[in-house]
């Protein structure tokens, strides 16, 4: 009669809410006390979601619990797989010295216990974190905007989402350079803001300039961009920022065809995406689900029963690819012509540089190491047309044709064939940042700090005569 023990229903509520709070606290603590975003953080997030699902099942009872479990079981199983997979990535990266399951990365000889040797994968997770704040801009110039005022110990952006200092009124005795490009110029995969092309370039040019002249290199690089986006961006900022010189560092995205896709997309964008805010979220969730399942299938080697990976071609023949490439190249040069024409009207000097790829570096490598050889074999066996198109002859042809267009306006279009040809070190970086020493590329279009410095030195040598004051 006097027994006041809690009713089972309240016990379920207390237990359910307790599990939910603990589940939400786990990823919150992991993300709050973070230096880098690692796979373990995402694993914690998935575990948190699993905990919330379990707490919901605890709170409910009878038929309602059964219905909830029936509805949420696929999500529960998917979350469990993701949690296990991300944890396995973390363990393999930090203890077993592997990055994912990629066979072209070498194993280290000892356990990874030294925090002074950061993994490239840890840096890349910060960039992945950045992409979650990517904004779609249907009425804007760039179409997409990288998050403004993004802050981390790896990458930081200004008020407009550029990886640069804030765009302010030009001061007296300042030589200002505007640099336009894609993710290579932005510095994707770079370990910090002090290891990107524009940072190195500004430091080098400052040594060349007179003592009373301050050199500013503003980085207007936009990841995933192309010349169809750089032209209106230049039209917007080219005059207002009062540059003394404009640099173009691009080409790889254009020659892969993204310029044509954007040109067609511009014409339909207002009609289809005026209410894109909700659509973007739904599309993102769908892509995450599909890519997660795709990743899982690849990791489980389920594709091997469907089609051999080295024969997968999307029914696109070499002649089709050659025809498309010529179209992409023509659109690229047309956009460069527009930039040159506008710059000449504004009386702004322009120098263009053709972005080099790791394929070009591998073509020119005289003493490739094991990782370089593996990467070269990967290209030649699975991406034959792309490999041939990255040859020194194909690259120099783009540079020469581009220079003919630039000369019409009194400008120049340079390449980096000599710099890569004279390089005697490794080409591809391994799992650790800066190892092996002297490696140039992290991926096909992104560079190591050493590679960025090499490119900056080459650019500086070709533009230093524009600077006022005495030069060495």
Tokens coding 316: 């696109």
Find out whether 339 and 234 touch, Cβ atoms under 8 Å.
yes
Number of CB atoms found within 10 A of residue 362's CB: 25
421, pLDDT greater than 70: yes
Residues 17 and 184: their CA atoms lie apart, in Å, by 47
Percentage of the chain exceeding pLDDT 90: 38
* Radius of gyration (C-alpha) of the chain in whole angstroms: 26
Q: Which residue has the higher pLDDT, 8 or 312?
A: 8
Residues 334 and 299: their CA atoms lie apart, in Å, by 42
Digit-coded pLDDT (tens) for 307-317: 333 333 334 45
Residues 168 and 436: their CA atoms lie apart, in Å, by 40
419, pLDDT greater than 80: yes
Residues 373 and 427: their CA atoms lie apart, in Å, by 10
Comparing 78-87, 104-113, 131-140, 304-313, the range with the smallest average pLDDT is: 104-113
Q: What is the pLDDT of residue 155?
A: 93
Among 422, 459, 425, CA closest to 439 = 425
Query: What's the DSSP call for residue 243?
Result: -
Q: What mean pLDDT comes out for the span 118-142?
A: 70
Q: What is the pLDDT of residue 293?
A: 58
Among 217, 228, 234, CA closest to 251 = 228
328, pLDDT greater than 50: yes
| Predicted TM-score (pTM) above 0.85 | no
Domains, the chain, ranges and CATH?
8-94 (no CATH), 130-278+316-466 (3.40.50.1110)
Among 389, 434, 1, 452, CA closest to 183 = 452
Using DSSP bridges, classify how beta strands 144-145 and 135-136 pair: parallel, antiparallel or unpaired: antiparallel
Comparing 132-136, 288-292, 367-371, 405-409, the range with the smallest average pLDDT is: 288-292
Comparing 290-299, 381-390, 446-455, the range with the smallest average pLDDT is: 290-299
Q: What is the pLDDT of residue 34?
A: 54
CA distances from 185 to 201, 260, 293, 444 (A): 11, 21, 32, 13
Most confident of 18-27, 38-47, 307-316: 18-27
Residue that has been written with the tokens 């973007």 in this structure: 280
Residues 300 and 294: their CA atoms lie apart, in Å, by 10
Largest distance between two CA atoms of the chain: 100
Digit-coded pLDDT (tens) for 215-254: 999 999 998 888 988 998 999 898 899 999 999 999 998 9
Q: What is the pLDDT of residue 114?
A: 43
**Phi-psi category of residue 188: left, alpha or beta, with phi > 0 → left and psi -120 to 50 → alpha:** beta
Give the helix ranges, DSSP H, for 209-275: 227-237, 252-255, 258-272
Using DSSP bridges, classify how beta strands 349-354 and 245-250 pair: parallel, antiparallel or unpaired: parallel
Tokens coding 253: 């995205």
Find out whether 87 and 39 touch, Cβ atoms under 8 Å.
yes
334, pLDDT greater than 80: yes
Tokens coding 275: 């209410």
Q: What is the pLDDT of residue 170?
A: 93
Residues 274 and 269: their CA atoms lie apart, in Å, by 8
**Of all helices (H) and strands (E), which one includes residue 374?**
helix 370-382
Q: How many CA atoms lie within 13 A of 44 on its CB side?
A: 18
Q: Which residue has the higher pLDDT, 160 or 352?
A: 352
Find out whether 33 and 57 touch, Cβ atoms under 8 Å.
no
Q: Which residue has the higher pLDDT, 114 or 201?
A: 201
Q: What is the pLDDT of residue 428?
A: 94
Q: What is the pLDDT of residue 326?
A: 87
- Mean of all residue pLDDT scores within the chain: 78
Tokens coding 311: 């024969």
Find out whether 243 and 234 touch, Cβ atoms under 8 Å.
no
CA distances from 97 to 100, 107, 112, 289 (A): 10, 6, 7, 28
Digit-coded pLDDT (tens) for 347-371: 999 999 999 999 999 999 988 889 9
b vs e for 411-445, b when ≥16 Cβ sit within 10 Å of the residue's Cβ?
bebbbbbebbeebeebbbbbbbbbbbebbbbbbbb
Q: Which residue has the higher pLDDT, 93 or 413?
A: 413
Q: What is the pLDDT of residue 221?
A: 94
């Amino acid at each position: 009669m006097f027994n006041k023990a809690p009713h089972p229903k309240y016990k379920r509520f207390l237990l359910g809410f307790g599990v939910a709070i603990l589940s939400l606290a786990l990823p919150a603590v992991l993300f709050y006390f973070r230096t880098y975003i690692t796979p373990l953080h995402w694993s914690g997030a998935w575990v948190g979601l699993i905990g919330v699902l379990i707490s919901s099942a605890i709170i409910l009872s009878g038929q309602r619990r059964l219905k909830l479990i029936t509805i949420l079981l696929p999500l529960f199983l998917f979350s469990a797989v993701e949690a296990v997979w991300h944890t396995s990535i973390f363990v393999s990266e930090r203890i077993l010295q592997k990055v994912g399951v990629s066979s072209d990365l070498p194993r280290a000889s000892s356990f990874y216990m030294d925090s002074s040797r950061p993994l490239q994968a840890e840096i890349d997770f910060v960039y992945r974190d950045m992409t979650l704040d990517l904004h779609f801009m249907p009425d804007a110039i760039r179409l997409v905007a990288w998050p403004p005022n993004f802050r981390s110990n790896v990458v930081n952006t200004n008020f407009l989402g550029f990886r640069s200092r804030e765009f302010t009124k030009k001061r007296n005795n300042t030589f200002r350079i505007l640099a336009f490009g894609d993710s290579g110029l932005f510095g994707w995969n770079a370990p910090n803001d002090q290891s990107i092309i524009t940072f190195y370039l500004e430091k080098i040019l400052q040594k060349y300039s007179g003592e009373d002249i301050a050199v500013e290199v503003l980085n207007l690089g936009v990841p995933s961009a192309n010349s169809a986006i750089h032209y209106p961006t230049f039209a917007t900022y080219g005059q207002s920022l009062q540059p003394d010189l404009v640099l173009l560092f691009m080409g790889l995205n254009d020659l892969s065809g993204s310029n044509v896709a954007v040109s067609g997309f511009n014409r339909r964008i207002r009609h289809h995406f005026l209410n894109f805010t909700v659509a973007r979220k739904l599309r993102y969730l769908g892509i995450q689900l599909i890519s997660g399942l795709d990743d899982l299938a690849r990791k489980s080697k389920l594709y091997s029963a469907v089609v051999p990976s080295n024969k997968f071609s999307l029914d696109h023949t070499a002649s089709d690819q050659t025809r498309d490439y010529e179209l992409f190249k023509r659109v690229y040069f047309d956009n460069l012509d527009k930039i040159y024409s506008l710059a000449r009207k504004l009386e702004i000097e322009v120098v263009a540089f053709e972005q080099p790829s790791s394929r070009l570096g591998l073509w020119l490598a005289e003493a490739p190491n094991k990782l370089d050889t593996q990467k070269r074999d990967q290209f030649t066996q699975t991406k034959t047309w792309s490999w041939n198109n990255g040859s020194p002859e194909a690259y120099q042809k783009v540079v020469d044709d581009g220079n003919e267009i630039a000369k019409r306006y009194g400008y120049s279009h340079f390449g980096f064939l000599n710099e890569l040809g004279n390089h005697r070190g490794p080409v591809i970086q391994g799992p650790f940042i800066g190892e092996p020493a002297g490696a140039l590329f992290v991926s096909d279009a992104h560079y190591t700090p050493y590679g960025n410095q090499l490119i900056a030195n080459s650019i500086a040598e070709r533009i230093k005569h524009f600077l006022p004051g005495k030069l060495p």
